[in-house]
Amino acid sequence: MNMQIVDADKNDVEGLIEIYSLPHLYHNREEARWFVKSFFDYHHIKIVKHKERIIGVLFWNVVEEKHHGLVEVRDFWIDESFRRRGLGERFLRMVIKDIKRFFAKDNSTLRKVIVTTGSDNIPAKRLYEKVGFQKAAAIADLFALGETELFYVLTLNP
């Protein structure tokens, strides 16, 4: 499969808004637009394209200051028709390598990557654990009443 992993740019905004307007991601197009545009202004967006179509997205940001070496994955999405083929793992591993290079440009070191997922999201939990993340905490009612979010941390060697 011919894919490319690139930084999202302004030409990708509408495609990302379409993706994040899907009912299971955001409640409406305006919320999706705010989410996507806020990341273009202050954070990082990596995308996977297949035949010019966005099939994967990963939003990340530096937590606090760069010298702390901490990154949070804010959102990670793979198109349903491309799931369970190893794409998510390859994409996540490649983005982590890219983030390491981002830190190295300023003589900083990426030390930890954090991500959250719902406790009922078995495929995501398997993926994060396969890549080396360890479950660090479970917090009930964080994003919605009656749901538990799991915090995963990937600790990298300097």
pLDDT digits (tens, 9 = 90+) for 99-139: 999 999 999 999 999 999 999 999 999 999 999 999 999 99
Q: What is the pLDDT of residues 71-96, one digit of tens each?
A: 999 999 999 999 988 899 999 999 99
pLDDT at residue 133, rounded to an integer? 98
**Tokens 């749901």 found at:** 147
Q: What is the DSSP string of 79-108?
A: -GGGTTSSHHHHHHHHHHHHHHHHHHTTT-
pLDDT at residue 101, rounded to an integer? 95
Sort residue 117 into left (φ over 0), alpha (ψ -120 to 50) or beta: beta
Domain residue limits at 150: 4-155
| SS3 assignment, position 69 | coil
Q: Which of 106, 112, 123, 96 is nearest to 154 (CA)?
A: 112
Q: What is the pLDDT of residues 14-30, one digit of tens each?
A: 888 888 887 766 667 88
Q: What is the pLDDT of residues 19-73, one digit of tens each?
A: 888 776 666 788 888 878 877 777 899 999 998 889 999 999 999 888 899 999 9
Mean pLDDT over each residue of the chain, to the nearest integer: 90
Beta-bridge partner residues of 58:
46, 76
**Tokens 């307007």 found at:** 21
Instruction: Provide the pLDDT confidence category of residue 140 given band limits of 50, 70 and 90.
Output: very high
**Domain containing residue 62: CATH number:** 3.40.630.30
Q: Which amino acid is at 27?
A: H
Extract the tokens encoding 94.
């490649």
Phi first, then psi: give them for residue 96, nearest 5 degrees: -60, -40
Examine the pLDDT at 146 and tell me if it is beyond 80.
yes
| Total domains in the fold of the chain | 1
pLDDT at residue 1, rounded to an integer? 64
pLDDT at residue 46, rounded to an integer? 94
